[in-house]
Amino acid sequence: MSILEAIIARVKDEEGQNFNAFFALTFPLRQREKTIDILTSLNNQFFVIAEVKKKSPSKGILRENFDPVNLALAYEKAGASAISVVTEKHFFSGEKEYLTRIKSHTSLPVMRKDFLIHPYQVFESYNLGADFVLLIVACLSREELKAMIDAVEFLGLQAMVEVHTQEELEKALSLNPKIIGINNRDLLTFEVDVETSFRLKKLIPEGIHVISESGLDSPEQVRKLRDAGFSGVLVGEYFLKANDIARAMKELCCG
């Protein structure tokens, strides 16, 4: 069993009862302020999504003395465009409440990054405070992906639809996404190849915002992504391991 398969199996085991009981018309949505539409920012700036994550299956603990709120505030002060919050518990040491706590302390849009496979989790993400969510095509059939996107649109959120292969990209494009994330990491092997972003970007029509994710650790990479027409980047490990986050963000994204 691959790591991805193990994660999905764990999600189904823990959330199966919620999935089976879910009915959108009776789901209790909490009162919250209007969600932030990230599309305006994507149109006007190179979008830097900074990630709040304690560990990963491949690298272990990424940041000692991990404090999600202080980390998010440091990202905001350093000039990040949005915050990605990893909420998966068993493989990434995330917590759902991290997202709610961060949302209550920052003015930036917040993304829930997790292995979302059922509309229940999209509704849950809304209640947690997410402005947008990550939908990983590798986890979903086309029909499941459509159901997830329908839930996102019903709630007034946005989705970043993540792909790693041409086949996944074709599945995503069939549903007319507004934002595509290209993950340079193969979720089956956890190997990283930044060229994945450049290869798949050529196949994406104009008018869709494209974000490069994973393995970005040099200003040269980011400059090439800008020049290739990417709307932005999602960066985790490079920032998480930095002693000075503001300096790390300036060097990577403005160097």
- Which sequence positions are flagged as catalytic? 51, 53, 113, 162, 183, 213-214
CA distance 140 to 163: 11
DSSP per residue, 96-158: HHHHHHHHTT-SS-EEEES---SHHHHHHHHHHT-SEEEEEGGG--HHHHHHHHHHHHHHT-E
CA proximity to 81, closest of 125, 117, 111, 119: 111
Whether the CB-CB separation of 200 and 183 falls below 8 Å is answered with: no
Q: What angle do CA 25, 178, 208 make, to 5 degrees?
A: 170
